[in-house]
Structure 1
Amino acid sequence: MRLFFLTFVILSCWITSCQDNKSPKQNIQTKPEVQKKEVTPLKPKYTKRITNKNVIEILTEYGNKNKERFVKLSTDFGEIEIELYNETPLHRANFIQLVKRKFLNETCFYRVAKGFVIQGGNSDRMEMAKIKRRIGQFTIPHEIKKKLKHHYGCVAMARVYKNNPNKRSSPFEFYIDVDPKGSHHLDGEHTVIGRVIKGMDVAKKINLVEVDFSEWPRKDVYMKATIIK
């Protein structure tokens, strides 16, 4: 599966890759989708798929009913605890639903940019693709705030750069800043949704794993996400 993915990435010339050809610190884009054969949908639990037309309505309603703000990501390297900000309510609600729908449990930290970020929320697992289809195809309106900057330990959402003048976020792919100086060239470009409150030592360990030329770890770093409170 990984060989197929890498071949696909090479042939597509990294059009929507996690990193452009200029510098590993230029931007944080989403991972290109891999075409997968049809699979049987999950048993319905959430009936309404999210689209760009209803995303604000659905996430606002979901956020009003689900007030949680603290999430734990468990990995083979240890645990990372995250606080989500109320100042970005759509993104908070979306991240909480990803945890509750167990989407993140099928994903990994698929990009490790040394001294810059660890990026997660995607994988080549078929189960992940099934859950994603049930959630819907959409992007989130940006909630960029001047006071929420790319400091060390911040959590923010990836996005597509091409044909995205409004800087709408990916609903699935996020990253943690591991640069001690922060990554302030990304301020105003991506929505910062939270911060690591415990486990930056774990994030730094992940940032040290061996990677291939595409910054994909040679050994998958999967996660399990749970709600703390």
Structure 2
Amino acid sequence: MVLHRFFTVAILLLFFMASCGDNPKGKSATTTKTEAEKDSVTIDSAKQKNKQKKEEKFVLTDENAVDFFFEYQKDLKVNKVKITTRLGSFTVQLFDDVPYHKANFIYLTRKGYFNETQFHRVVKDFIIQGGNSDDIKTGKKRSEIGRYLLPPDTRKGHRHDRGTLSMPSSEKENNPHMLASPYEFFIVVTHPGSYHLDGDYTPFGRVIEGMDVVDKINSVEVGEGDWPNQNVYIQKAEVVE
């Protein structure tokens, strides 16, 4: 009888110890699972934030444009752009000592801005002016790249000789400093040049090949506002590497 009770007590003790041993294991598993879920949520949140940052597009403004192009021009090893129209192609070479305007033109070319814009102003025996368009997509491209102006750079000794690539000033009101409109450019066709423009506009390059094409564009018929009767699109502008 005593022996039977001894075995009964022993079995009960073993059962109690086994039951107590199960609880910590079960609690640990639950805790580990909860912590893993928390870690997963934290990681997913961090990934989402990084994705949002990557999706945020850089936009140029009057406040950051000069600093941006100052850094951009440091690594530029190219200075030629080829422009193709229905009347043919011509190539311009950009002046290295007009860094902001050069960098701006290369940057916009690489962004594909000039593609499908037009030579929207043609003045006989004077200039052809390009980079604008009455198409909605041109305004959209400008909005995506940014709204900004560039300071003039007229004291480098470059003049408005025939074939000179120059940048017009903005038509914005309250622009006493003749800040340049970065999306547009004009090319002088006058013989030997249009020197009355010196000091007011920034020459930043010259046509080195295809001046006969520039002359063809200058000879198209125009209507009111010097806009060609038949649009002259820039089909493609590409950096010559």
Q: How far off is 1:67 after superposition?
A: 2.9
Aligned amino acid, residue 82 of structure 1: V
1:192 corresponds in structure 2 to: 203
2:115 corresponds in structure 1 to: 105
Q: Does structure 2 conserve the Cα–Cα contact (< 8 Å) formed by 1:106 and 1:127?
A: no
The Cα offsets for residues 106-143 of structure 1, whole Å up to 9 and x where unpaired, read as 21100000000000000012221111101111100111
Q: Which moved more, 1:71-80 or 1:59-68?
A: 59-68
Percent of aligned pairs sharing the same letter: 41
Which residues of 2 match residues 132-211 of structure 1 at below 5 A?
132-160=142-170, 162-211=173-222
Aligned amino acid, residue 170 of structure 1: S
- Over 3 Å counting, the alpha-carbon distance change for 1:208 and 1:46 in structure 2 is farther
After superposition, the CA RMSD in angstroms is: 1.6
Q: 2:237 aligns with which of 222, 225, 229?
A: 225
TM-score if structure 1 supplies the norm length? 0.77
Question: What is the SS of the residue equivalent to 1:119?
Answer: strand
Separation in structure 2 between the aligned mates of residue 103 and residue 81 of structure 1, nearest angstrom: 17
- Over 3 Å counting, the alpha-carbon distance change for 1:96 and 1:46 in structure 2 is farther
Separation in structure 2 between the aligned mates of residue 143 and residue 165 of structure 1, nearest angstrom: 15
Q: Does structure 1 conserve the Cα–Cα contact (< 8 Å) formed by 2:97 and 2:156?
A: no
1:3 corresponds in structure 2 to: none
* Structure label with greater radius of gyration: 2
2:43 corresponds in structure 1 to: none
Q: Does structure 2 conserve the Cα–Cα contact (< 8 Å) formed by 1:146 and 1:188?
A: no
Aligned amino acid, residue 122 of structure 1: N
- Over 3 Å counting, the alpha-carbon distance change for 1:190 and 1:46 in structure 2 is farther
Question: What is the SS of the residue equivalent to 2:115?
Answer: helix
Higher helix share: 2
1:72 corresponds in structure 2 to: 82
- Over 3 Å counting, the alpha-carbon distance change for 1:71 and 1:46 in structure 2 is farther
Structure 2: stretches of 5+ with no match in the other structure: 1-53
